[in-house]
Amino acid sequence: MSESSPIGHGGRLTIDLSALRANWRILAKAAECPETAAVIKADAYGCGIARAAPALWREGCRTFFVAHLSEGLTARQALPDAAIYVLNGFPPGSAPAYRAAGLRPVLGSRDEVAEWAAANRAEGVTRPAALHVDTGMNRLGLSVPEGLALAGDPIVAEAGIDLLMSHLVSAEVEHDPLTDRQAAAFAQVRDAYPGIRASLANSSGDFLPSCRADLARPGYALYGGNPRPGRDNPMHPVVRLDAGILQVREVPAGETAGYNARWTAHGPRRLATLSIGYADGYPRSSTGRGEAVVGGVRCPFAGNVSMDLIILDVTEAPQDALRRGAPATLIGDGLDLDTVGRNAGTIGYEILTNLGRRYERVYRD
């Protein structure tokens, strides 16, 4: 962050596209699959589809996954030639919109397969789609018996199924037996669909030999999250969040700070207020546990995270770092996504995808 606060914004979100591209290369190497895709749902995990997706395309990524049809339409504008799969089912009557944009639905039921096949027949053009078989998540997809029963049915070809996929439940948990059961079930289904590409590995699954197939589809780790909790993070940080100091004040022992007076000074303290809050996507649950880095020193939050402001206890920070407009770092300088998530009682995914729209956004590549 520069020496002064961003004009007109409470904080500055810096997104390093070169780090994003480097992370895709790392994950592609770890996956050892013929192809590595990129999951760009939730507006590329808060980083912006319009900028993140073309950066990944330039790096060599050719297949992308989004959650909703609307995201697919945004992705198509950024990626005219990419294969784009839409994960969250296939709403009734939506085939014309999918086909007009060249999007590929991920089909998770016999009814969905039949509707897409009917659209192919009506147009006289077989457009591709993926088939989702559930191996343990119990959210979307055909059951394993349903997937096996469908194999060999002519409707599979009529629906243009070109990808078979499932979703891992807990690949980030080392030696979780459920992952092995899922991998075995998926291998059984995969054998029933010869000649169709298969995809199982997510970010964490890229590092598990049992989960490798034809197409890896990492998400969170692309954006800097640790795919191997408990081990050193092999990924480069992609996002950095800084906010400028609005005001610094001295308070005596016994003085409170913030709504509901939840924080009390245990001695003479120095407080700094930042122009950022839960309306910017920084979780209120960080109250009492959150931190920011000021002048190289981690400074704890003082009082509730409010809608637009956060108070820091900067007593231990160097005096020359406490100028009006000087930066405080809320993500970065050792406060990575997973640490910020733990401090908020949640996960880094939620921190990343909730990054607000009030920030000044700076892209570096």
Report the CATH number that the domain containing residue 44 is assigned in CATH: 3.20.20.10
8 assigned to some structural domain: no
Q: Are residues 207 and 354 in the same domain?
A: no
Q: Are residues 61 and 25 in the same domain?
A: yes
329 assigned to some structural domain: yes
Q: Are residues 246 and 336 in the same domain?
A: yes
Is 259 catalytic? The answer is yes
Name which of 93, 113, 97 is nearest 161 in CA terms: 113
Rg for the chain, CA atoms, rounded:
23
> Strands 291-294 and 215-216: what pairing?
unpaired
Q: Which residues does 36 contact at the CB level (< 8 Å), separation at least 6?
A: 24, 27, 28, 61, 206, 215, 216, 217, 218
Q: What is the pLDDT of residue 10?
A: 82
Rounded to the nearest 5°, which phi and psi values hold at 133?
-115, 125
The residue whose two tokens read 């504008």 is: 77
Q: What is the pLDDT of residue 9?
A: 79
Mark which of 223, 253, 269 sits at the end of a domain.
Answer: 223
53 assigned to some structural domain: yes
Structure tokens at 239: 């996002």
* Cα(282)–Cα(308) distance, integer angstroms: 10
CATH number at residue 353: 2.40.37.10
Tens digit of pLDDT at every position of the chain (365 positions): 444 556 677 899 999 999 999 999 999 999 999 999 999 999 999 999 999 999 999 999 999 999 999 999 999 999 999 999 999 989 999 999 999 999 999 999 999 999 999 999 999 999 999 999 999 999 999 999 999 999 999 999 999 999 999 999 999 998 899 999 999 999 999 999 999 999 999 999 999 999 999 999 999 999 999 999 999 999 999 999 999 999 999 999 999 999 999 999 999 999 999 999 999 999 999 999 999 999 999 999 999 999 999 999 999 999 999 999 999 999 999 999 999 999 999 999 999 999 988 899 999 99
C-beta separation of 146 from 114 below 8 A? no
Q: What is the pLDDT of residue 96?
A: 97
Q: Are residues 311 and 191 in the same domain?
A: no
Q: Give the active site residue among 29, 259, 278, 282.
A: 259
Q: Are residues 118 and 193 in the same domain?
A: yes
* Cα(222)–Cα(297) distance, integer angstroms: 28
6 assigned to some structural domain: no
Rounded to the nearest 5°, which phi and psi values hold at 159?
-85, -5
Is 282 catalytic? The answer is no
Separation of first and last alpha carbons in the chain: 16
83 assigned to some structural domain: yes
Q: Are residues 277 and 339 in the same domain?
A: yes
11 assigned to some structural domain: no
- Is residue 95 helix, strand or coil? helix
The Cβ-side half-sphere exposure at 347, using a 13 Å CA radius, reads: 10
In this structure, the number of other CB atoms found within 10 A of the CB of residue 145 comes to 10
* Cα(12)–Cα(31) distance, integer angstroms: 33
Rounded to the nearest 5°, which phi and psi values hold at 336?
-80, 175
Q: Are residues 27 and 175 in the same domain?
A: yes
Q: Are residues 190 and 329 in the same domain?
A: no
Q: What is the pLDDT of residue 89?
A: 82
162 assigned to some structural domain: yes
What residue numbers bound the domain in which 350 lies? 237-364
Mark which of 223, 251, 280 sits at the end of a domain.
Answer: 223
253 assigned to some structural domain: yes
Q: Which amino acid is at 216?
A: A
- Is residue 295 helix, strand or coil? coil
Q: Are residues 213 and 241 in the same domain?
A: no
Q: Strand (E) positions, the chain?
A: 11-16, 35-36, 38-39, 63-66, 83-86, 104-107, 129-132, 161-165, 197-199, 215-216, 239-251, 256-257, 263-264, 269-274, 291-294, 297-300, 310-313, 327-331, 360-364
Q: Are residues 183 and 96 in the same domain?
A: yes
Q: Are residues 208 and 249 in the same domain?
A: no
C-beta separation of 236 from 25 below 8 A? no
Q: How many residues does the chain have?
A: 365
Mark which of 190, 223, 256 sits at the end of a domain.
Answer: 223
What are the distances in angstroms from CA 49 to CA 32, 82, 91, 226, 227? 26, 13, 23, 21, 21
Annotated binding site for substrate: 139, 307
Q: Give the active site residue among 41, 220, 278, 359.
A: 41
User: What is the total count of domains within the chain?
Assistant: 2
The Cβ-side half-sphere exposure at 246, using a 13 Å CA radius, reads: 14
* Cα(258)–Cα(260) distance, integer angstroms: 6
Q: Are residues 203 and 345 in the same domain?
A: no
Q: What is the pLDDT of residue 28?
A: 97
Q: What is the pLDDT of residue 8?
A: 72
